Structure 1
């Protein structure tokens, strides 16, 4: 038995929570994963995992072994990287997940730059507004907006998104220009966003001189994907809030107009995030640094 491979497989089972998800992420047959863990338990003469039909939990011995295993594998990767000069020439497959708008407007248009700089890194780019399970889905890092719900994740803040209120000229010709946020509840149609995971609906939010107003009336349309949300506004479905980064090209083409400019919306922080127990390999570090550089060089993304 390859002991290092068995330890890697065991760590992935712990992180994924099931043998099936671990096998999928490692691209190995489930039976192979099971045999490696069983062989590891026989070698150590301890029970590392409790199995149920739905999930795997770690025994006390398994938890202790996992903590030391993660540290050992990280040290092993460091040795291997230094010997192969991987830091200077990072290589391998990198699984990244990015929100729809950021992917369309920033990451994809500039990805050739990253690939030219790091030709030996192969990118698997997941694009959606749905929050992924970094460990279970075997994702190396994500770029996401909003404060992190899981404080155990490692996050690097790379920018902020400024939101503004907009509508299409055709919509404003039909319904008029709102003079106050409360006008939106009286005589206008609004487009709001709802979470693709929790279905939580996010009202339009307005701040001015300490006053905060959230639209409480029913929305005309709710959308759970950022590019579709933007398209709905351009199509004249109602008043909504998008980032200045999304809006710029539509302002230039006359497809959207800013309304209620005296009212602001809190900026949304943007983070590049990776799992806490995963060694920050050279390929992940390369992408994290490149993403931070990309955001810093974009004038429409407020960065700190």
Structure 2
């Protein structure tokens, strides 16, 4: 019978593609993980990985072993962890990834309540505007949009994010405000460049009656950050189309006003991602439940809607 530590080192290395990533998940050194896998190979008389300087590649025998044991090992590990945590207060370091502006505005305000409820948990929150490899980088959870649902991940939707047109309250002066997206062509636009692709973002807005119209503004400047776009719009430099999580604080403060109220584009869901284990570590489970409950209680989904005026 092979030791559980050897089997776990093999499965984590196979799932993440490296001994280093597996070591971060298991709290070991890369050398210890490599040694565990080598001992497993010696005990089985079977080579499990083709090793290179760049990554690990499973052999045919390694693929077969992974398929046979990964599910059972996950169930066993979860059962052991659950038994160890039974009756204990959730504890440990909670590593979570989230966007910078979103984290500051919507997650940091939840910290006091969360820590009061779970004082033995140490939040290790990473504010980073990038798509993380949840399993490979050892994160317990991530909050964002558009993260690919690879095998082993679960997504809990917190709300759909709408993109809306905004400008400074006095931007139009004596001019008539537009009533249809086609009228935006006569005004300066603050355009967003997508950081991942480098392309300029274009949007098709949906109106109150369900009609759709493409937005073709007159580009005055190009910015890659929606928070910067909101600030530029508040300065009266043009009309910006930005996601509601970024626009809402300025709308509520009166620094921005909606242009074309009732018109919006659906940018997709904002979700909470975490590993799909039957028995999550208690620290992750209570964090997921806490965030879902808080976002529901605070009406986050309604606040992100562009179909009407912003919710206070």
TM-score range, shorter chain: 0.7 to 0.9
* 8 Å Cα contact 2:47-2:62 kept in structure 1: yes
- Which residue does 1:257 correspond to in 2? 257
Q: Which runs of 5+ in 1 are unaligned?
A: none
Distance change >3 Å, CA 237–CA 102, structure 1 → 2: same
The CA distance in 1 between the partners of 2:175 and 2:53, in whole Å, is 57
Distance change >3 Å, CA 151–CA 81, structure 1 → 2: closer
**Equivalences for 1:172-251 in 2 at 5 Å?**
172-173=172-173, 177-194=177-194, 196-208=195-207, 209-216=209-216, 219-251=219-251
> Is residue 2:298 matched to residue 1:298?
yes
The CA distance in 1 between the partners of 2:236 and 2:58, in whole Å, is 54
**Equivalences for 1:28-43 in 2 at 5 Å?**
28-43=28-43
- Which residue does 2:109 correspond to in 1? 109
Q: Deviations over 1:6-58 (max 9, x none)?
A: 33322221122123443455564433332221112112221111112312111
The CA distance in 2 between the partners of 1:77 and 1:6, in whole Å, is 16
* 8 Å Cα contact 1:129-1:225 kept in structure 2: no
The CA distance in 2 between the partners of 1:69 and 1:42, in whole Å, is 19
TM-score, with structure 2 as normaliser:
0.82
- Which residue does 1:60 correspond to in 2? 60
Q: Which runs of 5+ in 2 are unaligned?
A: 304-312
Per-residue deviation, 1:185: 2.7
The CA distance in 2 between the partners of 1:40 and 1:200, in whole Å, is 48
- Which residue does 1:140 correspond to in 2? 140
The CA distance in 1 between the partners of 2:286 and 2:277, in whole Å, is 18
Per-residue deviation, 1:295: 0.9
- Which residue does 1:72 correspond to in 2? 73
The CA distance in 2 between the partners of 1:150 and 1:73, in whole Å, is 19
The CA distance in 1 between the partners of 2:276 and 2:18, in whole Å, is 19
Q: Deviations over 1:116-140 (max 9, x none)?
A: 1111222211122311111222112
SS in 2 for 1:161: strand
Distance change >3 Å, CA 276–CA 284, structure 1 → 2: same
- Which has the higher mean CA deviation after the structures are superposed, 263-272 or 284-293? 263-272
Per-residue deviation, 1:181: 1.5
> Is residue 2:269 matched to residue 1:269?
yes
The CA distance in 2 between the partners of 1:217 and 1:166, in whole Å, is 13
Distance change >3 Å, CA 201–CA 191, structure 1 → 2: closer
The CA distance in 1 between the partners of 2:38 and 2:175, in whole Å, is 68
SS in 2 for 1:291: helix
TM-score, with structure 1 as normaliser:
0.84
The CA distance in 2 between the partners of 1:29 and 1:163, in whole Å, is 45
The CA distance in 2 between the partners of 1:120 and 1:277, in whole Å, is 22
The CA distance in 2 between the partners of 1:300 and 1:179, in whole Å, is 27
SS in 1 for 2:156: strand
The CA distance in 2 between the partners of 1:225 and 1:289, in whole Å, is 30
RMSD: 3.0
* 8 Å Cα contact 2:78-2:277 kept in structure 1: no
